[in-house]
Amino acid sequence: MNNENSKVGVLIPGMGAVASTFICGVLACNKGLSKPIGSMTQMGSIRLGKRSEKRSPIIKDFAPVADMDNLVFGGWDISNENVYDVSIRSKVLDKTLLDQLKPELEDINVFKAVFDKEYVRRLDGNWIKTGTSKMDLAEQVMNDIKSFNEKNNITSNVMIWCGSTEIYFEPSDVHSSIDKFEEGLRNDSPAISPSMIYAYAAIKLGIPFANGAPNLSADIPALVELAETTKTPIAGKDFKTGQTLMKTILAPGLKARQLGINGWFSTNILGNRDGEVLDDPDAFKTKEESKLGVLDTILEPEKNPDLYSDLYHKVRINYYPPRGDDKEGWDNIDIFGWLGYPMQIKVDFLCRDSILAAPIVLDLVLFLDLAKKSNMFGVQEWLSFYFKSPMTRPNVGPEHDIFVQLAKLKNTLRHIMGEELITHLDQD
Ligand SMILES: NC(=O)c1ccc[n+]([C@@H]2O[C@H](COP(=O)([O-])OP(=O)(O)OC[C@H]3O[C@@H](n4cnc5c(N)ncnc54)[C@H](O)[C@@H]3O)[C@@H](O)[C@H]2O)c1
């Protein structure tokens, strides 16, 4: 695997706050204006071999992931706004930084979107593809990718959905096999959403695909089947930032000490466009499902009925425009200890959504590109670390415990590179 000078085309449906914060961050780091804080590929180390060998390289120096310098960005959105204007409007990064990146940001291709208001009711746009069928729209996306790659001398691609959260719906017959799905594309099945059309276009071309939002997309049997056939790595879904990140850090610790939990109330205020979209009850339902799954899987109440069978878990998101992207999330956790005596934990996390999401996008792009170049395909469970609702192979549940997810990710990297797996027996 030789990654020198090979350009990786990063394809992003949804050039909003997360996408623009990610792109600006990479450009700023490449110019030496800042550091990629929060990115495991750029800053995290990995222990190799026996402790006495003292080998702990930074991941990017160990695994042949692409250089940040070699990433080229393109995407789709529903208005013809350039990425500089999106970044200014999103109010995540300082204007003084953005002004230093302005020419590069204005130069990024933003193609017309595949969009249907039926799936994201709070948005309207005027930069939208028209076509004779959903299949025609998928083919237009594939043509966008081909022309983008030719223009930029791209040697590999990754697509990452950073679009708004689509409404909640359950998988149905049209999602059950690739034949039925393709028939659905030709017949304009209402069960095929825009995010699925982008995912289909990418996977059909063998381009790794990740879903950063909680809506149904590549996590349907039809697209998993296609990913196996075209030997394409896929991953999802819903970037693990903010409150769920805290939950998957705290819950494993409480469980490790066999402390009981009978209530976990999470609420937050958020004022960016994502918050506005989630103000629609059907979009919120998609997010709620994604957030609620986490605790049960970590705590396993069926195995620990005395500690967790009465757990009441509630999640609320409140759209509150004055805060913009600066979210505030409160958790009240009612726990109990020795002989059942109650205690409480309060968490007040003043976080920045897009600042937490951007390094996740970077790592996913680099790791999915690595997976493809390492001949790995289908669902990439080792990337569960980055998601609220990790995709898994059929018949096995997701892993939510962030420390298990981290061990799995690092052991997969060791495996890819032919290094010994670390068991922490440490009998050296
Ligand atoms: N920021 C976080 O911490 C975080 C965490 C988990 C998940 N997410 C998800 O990531 C996504 C992006 O978040 P954001 O804060 O950037 O939101 P945003 O509203 O700023 O950006 C979303 C963009 O997607 C565009 N869009 C919507 N439908 C589209 C389509 N069909 N094709 C192309 N573009 C489309 C919108 O016009 C908008 O510009 C959301 O779904 C959000 O729920 C964000």
Distance 161 CA to ligand 1 centre (A): 8
Asked if 268 and 246 touch (Cβ cutoff 8 Å), the reply is no
Distance 162 CA to ligand 1 centre (A): 5
Position 395 pLDDT exceeds 90 = no
List helix spans (H) across 218-280: 221-229, 242-256, 273-278
Distance 361 CA to ligand 1 centre (A): 12
CA neighbours within 13 Å on the CB side: how many for 244?
31
pLDDT digit string, tens, across residues 210-268: 999 999 999 999 999 999 999 999 999 999 998 899 999 999 999 999 999 999 999 99
Distance 11 CA to ligand 1 centre (A): 14
Which residue has a Cα nearest atom 35 of ligand 1? 14
**What pLDDT does residue 86 have?**
97
- Assign 3-class secondary structure to 289-330: HHHHHHHHHHHCCCCCHHHHCCCEEEEEEEECHHHCCEEEEE
Tokens for 111?
């193609």
272 lines ligand 1 (CB under 6 A): yes
Distance 274 CA to ligand 1 centre (A): 6
Residues 65-80: what's their mean pLDDT? Answer: 97
**What pLDDT does residue 283 have?**
80
pLDDT digit string, tens, across residues 3-29: 566 899 999 999 999 999 999 999 999
**What pLDDT does residue 428 have?**
66
- H-helix or E-strand containing 209? strand 209-211
Of all residues in the chain, the percent with pLDDT exceeding 90 is: 84
Residues 314-318: what's their mean pLDDT? Answer: 90
356 lines ligand 1 (CB under 6 A): yes
- H-helix or E-strand containing 24? helix 17-30
Residue 77's pLDDT band, with cuts at 50, 70 and 90, is very high
Name the region of 270 (left: φ>0; alpha: ψ -120 to 50; beta: rest). Answer: beta
220 lines ligand 1 (CB under 6 A): no
Query: Cβ neighbours of residue 41 under 8 Å, at least 6 residues apart?
Result: 59, 60, 63, 65, 362, 363, 366, 367
pLDDT digit string, tens, across residues 108-160: 999 999 999 999 988 889 999 999 999 999 999 999 999 999 999 999 999 99
Where do the domains of the chain lie, and which CATH numbers do they carry?
Answer: 7-239+355-416 (3.40.50.720), 243-352 (3.30.360.10)
**What pLDDT does residue 165 have?**
93
Most informative mutation of 160, 274, 294, 315 for ligand 1 (most atoms within 8 A of CB): 274
User: How many Å apart are CA 91 and CA 81, to the nearest integer?
Assistant: 15
Which residue has a Cα nearest atom 12 of ligand 1? 162
Average pLDDT, the chain: 94
Asked if 417 and 62 touch (Cβ cutoff 8 Å), the reply is yes
Q: Cα Rg for the chain, rounded, in angstroms?
A: 21
Instruction: Give SS3 for 148.
Output: helix
Of all residues in the chain, the percent with pLDDT exceeding 70 is: 98
92 lines ligand 1 (CB under 6 A): no
Parallel, antiparallel or unpaired: strands 71-77 and 260-270? unpaired
38 lines ligand 1 (CB under 6 A): no
User: How many Å apart are CA 76 and CA 80, to the nearest integer?
Assistant: 9
Most informative mutation of 12, 15, 18, 284 for ligand 1 (most atoms within 8 A of CB): 18
**What pLDDT does residue 291 have?**
76
User: How many Å apart are CA 3 and CA 70, to the nearest integer?
Assistant: 9
Distance 14 CA to ligand 1 centre (A): 6
Distance 212 CA to ligand 1 centre (A): 8
Which residue has a Cα nearest atom 5 of ligand 1? 239
The whole-model pTM stands at 0.96
Q: What share of the chain is helix, strand, coil (3-state, %, to 5)?
A: 45, 20, 35
Name the region of 418 (left: φ>0; alpha: ψ -120 to 50; beta: rest). Answer: left
Position 292 pLDDT exceeds 70 = yes
**What pLDDT does residue 99 have?**
98
User: How many Å apart are CA 414 and CA 48, to the nearest integer?
Assistant: 8
pLDDT digit string, tens, across residues 164-197: 999 998 999 999 999 999 999 999 999 999 999 9
Position 2 pLDDT exceeds 60 = no
165 lines ligand 1 (CB under 6 A): yes
Q: Which residues pair with 264 in a beta bridge?
A: 313, 333
